[in-house]
Chain A
């Protein structure tokens, strides 16, 4: 159990550091690469939480697909790759204020509500010994209609993105 804690804090420290690089870096590509580190750290936390199917989906969708889209967006908008730009607003102090206030309120509420309550030692949710089977069983029975709605949403987003971005109109 101690090893889990060591890994949690090591990965959490890397994640928070990389997230700060994402929102403060003056180089757009460096922000994107730091975001990949954050996504990988989130996947690692999912493994610690014994949700391996979501962790693998995180790697495939976020690191594989969404980050490639982001890098395409950076490339197509010709953000000055490799050169530093001033990417922060004049009213950045409002963001600092809001974030500090939020983290204070949420931290107080969480410590007040959960204190030192531990997570159960047997965290893995399985069906016939497999987490993937448990997830798919739930998706295709209890959450079948939301699943189909998400399929339609993805199709609509695909068509919408093509219609918005095409040139001949």
Chain B
């Protein structure tokens, strides 16, 4: 119990990832689905920085920064789409957006 283990961080990332996956599948509100996607991206960042610390390479930090930037872009565009869905349908429930159901 003296040293920090690699698996501590990797398992924390795996648990957060799976909670995010559950949120994406089970949530009905579009904004809540976006929040679950943020959980998934954070889990990936933990993994990247853990392997960065393991290999002593700064690339892990750099890729984590890229992911943070892409997450910011994704939230901006995603919320714009949520807004236009709300304006057209007065609802943000994913169950109501079913006009392409076969």
- Chain A residues in the interface with B (C-beta under 8 A): 1-2, 4-5, 8, 12, 15-16, 19-20, 22-23, 28, 31-32, 35, 38-39, 42, 45-46, 48-51, 53-54, 57-58, 61-62, 65-66, 69-70, 72-74, 76-79, 85-89, 91-92, 94-96, 98-100, 102-103, 106-107, 110-111, 114-121, 123, 125, 131, 134-135, 137-139, 142-143, 146-147, 150, 153-154, 156-158, 160-162, 164-165
B45-97 contacts to A, CB under 8 A, are 45-46, 49-50, 52-54, 56-62, 64-66, 68-77, 79-84, 86, 92, 94-95
Measured between C-beta atoms, what is the minimum distance from A26 to chain B in Å?
10
Please tell me if the beta carbons of B16 and A15 are within 8 angstroms of each other in the complex.
yes
Shortest Cβ-Cβ A-B pairs, 5 listed: A95-B25, A157-B73, A23-B23, A118-B3, A95-B26
Interface size for chain B: under 10, 10 to 19, 20 to 34, or 35 or more residues? 35 or more
B interface SS class: helix
Which chain A residue lies CB-closest to B66?
A150
Q: List 14 A-B contacts (CB under 8 A).
A: A22-B36, A45-B49, A50-B53, A51-B61, A77-B92, A91-B26, A102-B18, A106-B14, A106-B18, A125-B53, A125-B61, A138-B59, A157-B73, A157-B77
User: Does A153 lie within 8 Å of B70, measured CB to CB?
Assistant: yes
- In-complex Cβ contact of A99 among B18, B38, B92 (8 A): B18
B98 located at the interface, meaning its Cβ lies under 8 Å from any Cβ of chain A in the complex: no
Expressed in whole angstroms, the Cα–Cα distance for A139 and B62 within the complex equals: 7
Which of B9, B61, B70, B74 sits near A54, CB closer than 8 Å? B61
| Nearest CB of chain A from residue B73's CB, rounded to whole Å | 3
Interface majority SS (helix, strand, loop, mixed), chain A: helix
Given A50-B53, A135-B62, A154-B73: A119 touches B21 (CB 8 Å cut-off)? no
